[in-house]
């Protein structure tokens, strides 16, 4: 290691660079680099979220940190978004993916670059790393995937085959507002008007393609790395949180990758763990992890990071469930494998006679329940939705009341669950369409039920998400449901509960037919949940000593509050979920209504208002979306209205309907 490797540099930020792509589109680029001349490795990051507007501070937190430690960070706006030129009609388009590849190779060719390139990013900026790494650009040596999707169909858009409401409550109107807004004139100069007009003429809502492609197909495969992990040759560091979107996806990636790899799963939501509100804690400073990873793979520094156990997960323990959780009790566990090398899989068989869980298939029996579309009121928002960090699951008893529950007696010893639960259910329904959701819960001595893991699947998708088939009412089907990975210790005196219901309405659009659904059990129909257990007293590896967050833990009163209400209209028997958030010049609100009396009738009405950056003009973008369902079809409508100084400058609407397609 040289002195230069350890010194801390002053940094220089260069904004508004224009890099021309193969078809003439120019990407808006910001470079954050050491002020000292020289050759350094490059690290790329990009997304469509307007975080490179001139007035925006450096983000994510690792950007200035890496530059201070001898890296050139190259960030750019996705084509057709932010202050890049071109148009955009879809997220993760083929052209966008090629841009990522080309920008890796562009950075490697610069006279300030050593030729070694890495990538960072969260959420959208994490998923694009998979897309670029799968194309294997020669100079891409290492990536750090912070909360990235492997499977764009099931991870993000259609969990278990159902439409994810959040895509239409938040993502659709938000991206319409951003993508039709003008570029930043401080970055485009005299080209501002032309770039904006090109965008207005050629872009379309991203939600249209999400809405149209309701089954798995080549459309989703072209955006997903799942099934093609063998194409990734660079080193991969996976970082995620249990309260975030993609812990199961990142652990699945770890299992499948053949490249050098490492994974850390903490308790956090959809934040970088060093951010002030990266809750639940304990928070760590992952900037240091980024630097160690890139120092090893891009600079060749032997810092021992690859000598550490490749798997580190935070094992959570009991805490009273709450919509906001500041800190999770628990401890770090490191291992060579996921699931842990010393773990074993145990089947817990559903026993209708005792409403318990058995070690072997019980006597034949069944349990039936009426489908209630608003089950899921206590499930919270996967990824904490748009209300972060106010979105954690609450006491599950409100949903357990409408589920088939199977519960053990109080435990005599701790039960450590570390792995990915799998449910095998034998089900029937009085309807042609039904959905089954499985929850794993920790039940305290006072009866409070805490959600640990869940997963769901449309029974019409039992043969695959590419070929839905209706159910024959009364016929028994085997249905396999993959649940979200977990690392959790249930304390002695607590009970393990498996709850099966037919809705998780906050995270999966409800099915449209009234139904009485049945779980069949026994030797002929061995319905069960398979859990991965880590025996007590087995071999353990010392976890890394993570540096704590640079921010003190905030008090609950300091955490910004979003609007997140669930209103039950007793007369109409409908539930309305209202979300609202304000920040970065953007105001968001949505109302999502589900009816218990008529499950086919559900609707989302969403609005986003955004003021675009301009030194002299008030430019306001209003984006509205309405997504509805009936017994026979789904309809999605979007409108964008742009006003300059209060006068309408642009207005356009789109509307499409598709059959329910056994959903």
**Averaged pLDDT, 7-19:** 95
Residue 148 has pLDDT above 70, yes or no: yes
Evaluate whether 500 touches 438 at the Cβ level (below 8 Å): yes
Q: What's the DSSP call for residue 5?
A: H
Q: What is the mean pLDDT of residues 523-546?
A: 92
Q: What is the pLDDT of residues 515-524, one digit of tens each?
A: 999 999 999 9
d(CA 391, CA 559): 13
Distance CA(347)–CA(361), nearest Å, equals 9
Residue 645 CA to residue 187 CA, distance in Å, equals 22
- What does the DSSP 8-state code read for residue 216? -
pLDDT given at position 4: 39
Strand, coil or helix: what is 197?
Answer: helix
Q: Which among 570, 634, 599, 630 is positioned nearest to 375, based on CA atoms?
A: 599
Judged by DSSP in three states, 190 sits in: helix
User: What pairing do the DSSP bridges indicate for beta strands 40-47 and 72-77?
Assistant: parallel
Please compute the mean of the pLDDT values over residues 238-246 and round it to a whole number: 96
Provide long-range contacts, Cβ within 8 A and 24+ apart, for 612-618: 612/181, 612/182, 613/53, 613/54, 613/55, 613/184, 613/185, 613/186, 613/585, 614/182, 614/185, 615/185, 615/186, 617/644, 617/645, 618/643, 618/644, 618/645, 618/646
CA contacts within 13 A on the Cβ side of 374? 23
Is the model's pLDDT at 385 over the cut of 80?
A: no
Average pLDDT over residues 625-648: 98
Contact 144, 125 (CB under 8 A): no
* Whole-prediction pTM: 0.97
Bridge partner residues of 579 (DSSP): 564, 590
- 156-165 mean pLDDT: 97
- Structural contact between residues 124 and 383, judged by C-beta atoms closer than 8 angstroms: no
Q: How confident is the model at residue 211 (pLDDT cuts 50, 70, 90)?
A: very high
Strand ranges of the sheet holding 495-501, from the earlier edge strand across to the other edge: 404-407, 495-501, 435-443, 449-458
User: Six-digit token pair at 549?
Assistant: 């967050």
| Residue 193 in tokens | 């008007």
Q: For residue 460, which phi and psi values (nearest 5 degrees)?
A: -70, -15
pLDDT tens-digit profile of 314-327?
Answer: 999 999 999 999 99
- Find all residues with CB under 8 Å of 302, minimum gap 6, and list them: 296
DSSP string, 445-509: TT--EEEEEEEEEEGGGTT-TTS-----TT--EEEEEEPPPEEEEEPTT-EEEEEEES--TTTSP
> Residue 5 — very low, low, confident or very high, per pLDDT cuts 50/70/90?
very low
Average pLDDT, integer, range 391-400: 95
Summarised one tens digit per residue, pLDDT across range 546-592 is 999 999 999 999 999 889 999 999 999 999 999 998 887 899 999 99
Which runs of E-coded beta strand occur in 230-288? Answer: 235-241, 261-266
Residue 277 has pLDDT above 70, yes or no: yes
User: What is the pLDDT, as a whole number, of residue 583?
Assistant: 81
Could you read off the pLDDT of 413-426 as tens digits, one per residue?
A: 999 999 999 999 99
Q: Confirm if 658 and 629 have CB atoms less than 8 A apart.
A: no
Domain boundaries, the chain: 3-265, 344-533
Among the four given CATH numbers 1.20.90.10, 3.10.129.10, 1.10.10.10, 3.40.50.1820, the one describing domain 3-265: 3.40.50.1820
Per-residue CA distances from 292 to 4, 42, 139, 603 (Å): 15, 15, 19, 47
Q: Does domain 344-533 sit in CATH 1.10.3470.10?
A: no
Residue of 574, 576, 572, 573 whose CA lies nearest to 589: 576
Q: pLDDT at position 1, please?
A: 30
Kindly indicate the confidence band of residue 536, based on its pLDDT and cuts at 50, 70 and 90: confident
Q: What is the 3-state secondary structure (H, E, C) of 402-442?
A: CCEEEECCCCCCCEEEEECCEEEEEEEECCCCCEEEEEEEE
The string of DSSP codes covering 156-175 is II-GGGSPPTHIIIIIHHHH
Q: What's the whole-number mean pLDDT along residues 57-81?
A: 97
In contact, 118 and 44? CB cutoff 8 Å: yes
pLDDT at 388 exceeding the cut of 90: no
Best CA proximity match to 440, nearest among 523, 501, 493: 501
Report the distance separating Cα 581 and Cα 270, nearest Å: 15
Tokens of 267: 């308790």
| Cα Rg of the chain, angstroms | 25
- Classify the C-alpha dihedral 339-344-350-356 as positive or negative: negative
What's the whole-number average pLDDT of the chain?
96
Contact 461, 468 (CB under 8 A): yes
């Amino acid at each position: 290691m040289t002195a230069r490797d350890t010194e801390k540099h002053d940094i220089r930020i260069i904004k508004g660079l224009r890099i021309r792509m193969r078809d003439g589109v120019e990407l808006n680029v910001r470079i954050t680099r050491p002020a000292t001349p020289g050759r350094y490795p490059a690290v790329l990051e990009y997304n469509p979220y307007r975080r490179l507007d001139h007035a925006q501070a450096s983000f994510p937190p690792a950007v200035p940190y890496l530059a201070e430690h001898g890296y050139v960070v190259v960030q750019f706006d996705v084509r057709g978004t932010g202050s890049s030129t071109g148009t955009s009609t879809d997220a993760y388009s083929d052209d966008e993916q090629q841009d990522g590849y080309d920008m890796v190779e562009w950075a490697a060719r610069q006279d300030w670059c050593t030729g070694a390139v890495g990538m960072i990013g969260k959420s959208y900026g994490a998923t694009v790393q998979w897309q670029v790494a799968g194309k294997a650009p020669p100079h891409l040596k290492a990536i750090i995937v912070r909360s990235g999707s492997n499977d764009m169909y099931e991870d993000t858009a259609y969990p278990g085959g159902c439409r994810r409401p959040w895509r239409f409550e938040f993502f659709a109107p938000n991206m319409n507002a951003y993508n039709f807004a003008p570029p930043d004139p401080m970055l485009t100069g005299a080209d501002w008007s032309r770039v904006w007009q090109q965008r207005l003429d050629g872009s379309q809502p991203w939600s249209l393609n999400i809405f149209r492609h309701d089954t798995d197909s080549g459309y989703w495969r072209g955006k997903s790395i799942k099934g093609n992990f063998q194409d990734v040759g660079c080193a991969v560091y996976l970082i995620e949180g249990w309260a975030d979107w993609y812990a199961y996806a990142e652990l699945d990636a770890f299992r499948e990758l053949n490249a050098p790899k490492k994974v850390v799963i903490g308790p956090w939501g959809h934040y970088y763990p060093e951010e002030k509100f990266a809750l639940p804690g304990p928070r760590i400073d992952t900037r240091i992890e980024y630097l160690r990873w890139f120092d090893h793979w891009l600079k060749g520094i032997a810092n021992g990071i690859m000598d550490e156990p490749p798997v580190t997960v935070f094992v959570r323990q009991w805490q009273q469930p709450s919509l906001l959780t500041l800190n999770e009790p628990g401890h770090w566990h490191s291992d060579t494998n996921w699931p842990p090398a010393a773990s074993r899989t145990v089947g817990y068989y559903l026993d209708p006679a005792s409403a318990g869980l058995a070690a072997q298939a019980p006597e034949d029996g069944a349990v039936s329940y009426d489908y209630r579309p608003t089950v899921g009121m206590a499930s919270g928002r996967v990824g904490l939705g748009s209300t972060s960090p106010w979105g954690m699951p609450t006491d599950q008893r409100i949903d357990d009341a409408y589920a088939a529950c199977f519960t053990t007696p109080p435990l005599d010893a701790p039960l450590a669950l570390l792995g990915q639960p799998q449910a095998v259910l034998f089900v029937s329904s009085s309807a042609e369409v039904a959905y089954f959701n499985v929850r794993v819960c920790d039940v305290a001595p006072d009866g409070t039920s805490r959600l640990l893991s869940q997963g769901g699947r449309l029974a019409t998708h039992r043969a695959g998400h590419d070929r839905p088939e209706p159910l024959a009412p009364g016929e028994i089907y085997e249905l396999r449901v993959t649940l979200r990975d977990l690392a959790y210790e249930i304390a002695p005196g607590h009970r393990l509960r498996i709850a099966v219901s037919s809705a998780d309405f906050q995270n999966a659009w409800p099915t449209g037919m009234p139904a009485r659904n049945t779980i069949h059990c026994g030797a002929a129909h061995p319905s069960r949940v398979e859990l991965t257990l880590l025996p007590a007293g087995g071999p353990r590896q010392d976890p890394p000593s993570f540096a704590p967050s640079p921010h003190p833990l905030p008090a609950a009163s300091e955490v910004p509050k979003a609007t997140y209400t669930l209103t039950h209209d007793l007369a109409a028997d409908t539930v309305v979920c209202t979300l609202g958030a304000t920040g970065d010049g953007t105001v968001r609100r949505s109302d999502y209504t589900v009816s218990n009396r008529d499950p086919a009738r559900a609707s989302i009405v969403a609005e986003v208002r955004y003021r675009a950056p301009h030194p002299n003009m008030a430019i306001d973008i209003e984006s509205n979306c309405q997504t509805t369902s009936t017994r026979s079809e789904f309809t999605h409508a979007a409108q964008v209205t742009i006003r300059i100084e209060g006068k309408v400058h642009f207005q356009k609407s789109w509307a499409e309907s598709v059959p329910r397609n056994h959903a």
